[in-house]
Amino acid sequence: MATGRTHRPATRSRGIPEATVARLPLYLRALTALSERSVPTVSSEELAAAAGVNSAKLRKDFSYLGSYGTRGVGYDVEYLVYQISRELGLTQDWPVVIVGIGNLGAALANYGGFASRGFRVAALIDADPAMAGKPVAGIPVQHTDDLEKIIQDNGVSIGVIATPAGAAQQVCDRLVGAGVTSILNFAPTVLSVPDGVDVRKVDLSIELQILAFHEQRKAGEEAMESLAEGLPATAKGSTDQGPDGDVPAVMPA
């Protein structure tokens, strides 16, 4: 639908690739740790190891931001912390609302990671009237009826959805209608939003299923290896129950 209409270059304003943007927070975290230990400079090799990435990738990532390193020395930690923070927009204050104060929503409200860097929980919103006024993480929960007013009064542009799946799209529509343009979705649903609104999803169930796939594959390979060599299962495969009984079909060449 509407393909080829307004060609919108996603990350064209600065030309920073999306993959790079996704790694910047990782670098920032590693750099912050170094900064707290008063380390003045760091090489791409060291920093890459701390962030769990390839050093060439890290250097290329930084090259998109500019030339902030010194050859023969490395990168100035403090300077880089500042540059990345600025690039990510963390030098300003981001008021955030959390909608859906159940188990997960409450946990998110209590999570320290919010306040740490530029993000501030401006309001908690729930549809349950019984929750209204009740403080969670020191913040009184407000009712969904006031959602639009809360968004506008606080200048909120980032919303977190932690409602049940059934309510997510409706909440999303109201958030977007009230001016929110970035949404972090914890509900297990695909949200549809108009152009210009960013959605990122965090889905426990999906992550587990991906792990299960690889786990099954590992178990299958392991079973086939011991089958092929006629070896009994070694220490590792203590739980190779195959209730499925289905041996993956891999044709030996």
- Binding residues for NAD(+) are 100-105
Residue by residue, DSSP assigns 84-107 as HHHHHTTTS-EEEEEE--SHHHHH
For the record, the structure tokens of 249 come out as 């079909």
Q: Is 228 in the site for a copy of itself (CB under 8 A)?
A: no
Minimum distance from residue 243 beta carbon to a copy of itself (Å): 4
Q: Do 157 and 150 contact (CB within 8 A), yes or no?
A: no
Q: Is 234 in the site for a copy of itself (CB under 8 A)?
A: no
List 39, 56, 73, 210, residue binding a copy of itself (CB under 8 A): 210
Q: Is 57 in the site for DNA (CB under 7 A)?
A: yes
List 63, 110, 152, 234, residue binding DNA (CB under 7 A): 63
Residue 112, CA atoms < 13 Å, CB-side half-sphere: 0
Q: What amino acid is encoded at 94 in this protein?
A: W
Q: What's the rounded Cα separation, in Å, for the pair 8 and 195?
A: 10
List 26, 68, 184, 202, residue binding DNA (CB under 7 A): 68
**From the CB of residue 241, how many other CB atoms can be counted at a distance below 10 Å?**
8
Q: Which stretch binds DNA (CB under 7 A): 39-47, 89-97, 221-229, 236-244?
A: 39-47
**From the CB of residue 249, how many other CB atoms can be counted at a distance below 10 Å?**
5
Q: Is 25 in the site for a copy of itself (CB under 8 A)?
A: yes
Minimum distance from residue 11 beta carbon to a copy of itself (Å): 8
**DSSP letter (8 states) at residue 134:** -
List 128, 145, 146, 198, residue binding a copy of itself (CB under 8 A): 198
Q: Is 213 in the site for a copy of itself (CB under 8 A)?
A: yes
| Nearer Cβ to a copy of itself (29/143) | 29
Minimum distance from residue 145 beta carbon to a copy of itself (Å): 15
**From the CB of residue 167, how many other CB atoms can be counted at a distance below 10 Å?**
16
**Direct distance between the N- and C-terminal alpha carbons of the chain, in angstroms, rounded to an integer:** 44
Q: Is 62 in the site for DNA (CB under 7 A)?
A: yes
| Length in residues, the chain | 253
Q: Is 236 in the site for a copy of itself (CB under 8 A)?
A: yes
Q: Is 201 in the site for DNA (CB under 7 A)?
A: no
Q: Is 170 in the site for DNA (CB under 7 A)?
A: no
Helix axes 147-154, 165-178, angle to 10 degrees: 50
Q: Is 152 in the site for DNA (CB under 7 A)?
A: no
Q: What's the rounded Cα separation, in Å, for the pair 209 and 204?
A: 9
Q: What's the rounded Cα separation, in Å, for the pair 6 and 17?
A: 20
List 38, 205, 231, 252, residue binding a copy of itself (CB under 8 A): 205
Q: Which stretch binds a copy of itself (CB under 8 A): 35-43, 75-83, 109-117, 139-147?
A: 109-117
Minimum distance from residue 24 beta carbon to DNA (Å): 12
